[in-house]
Amino acid sequence: MEVQGGALDPPRAWAAVGAIPEPCPWRQATRVRLEEVPLAGVPPWLGIDRALAGWQAWRAVQGPVLVADAGTVLSLTLVDGRGVFQGGRLQAGLALQLRAMAGATQHLPPAGGPKQAMVAAAWPRDTLEAMAAGVQRGLAAAVAAAHREAARDYPGLRLVLTGGDGALVRELLPRQVGIEPPVEHRPDLCLEALAALRPASA
């Protein structure tokens, strides 16, 4: 992920989860590292994407927040009202679950890419749509259940959605029984954090 300085300029900030290509196309001086993210209580093993998202979401809501980053992995990151990392959960995301089902069984079809559009039918007859509907609703149910559970210990807990499938999860959340959390969808949450840590004026 990166924040551009200008149309032809190199990024003024970037961060990476996992391996960095060699030779690195960007200056190391503009790289944001985990220890630079001012989220309290962060363990050294935490992915910088989760740290950036948790810190920026806490800054936005100014209170306890659960960040649901629905990407390749659905990561749930809990930050208390003082801006301290409290832990989280990880599970396979939408496309990853669909690929796993197709790859680990004999009779389920390959998904052919993530099913980005919400499957309207609650009980589809088509196999591929049934796979997508199950995974989509399962992800939304996991987010809803996590919010319910965490809100018992953190009154006023807000829910912030991000990631490529964040909009889809948000669309499905009202269908989950008993779920009416204050939800905010911020698709560029990590980029917002990078921009805040490396302001243009600097």
3-state secondary structure of 37: coil
SS (H, E, C) 65-115: EEEEEECCEEEEEEECCCCEEEEEEEEECHHHHHHHHHHHCCCCCCCCCCC
Phi and psi for 47 in degrees, rounded to 5? -65, 140
Measure the CA–CA gap between 163 and 173, rounded to whole angstroms.
Answer: 15
The identity of residue 34, as a single letter, is L
CB 173 within 8 A of CB 35: no
Which residues are catalytically annotated? 49
Give the pairing of strands 65-70 and 158-162.
Answer: parallel
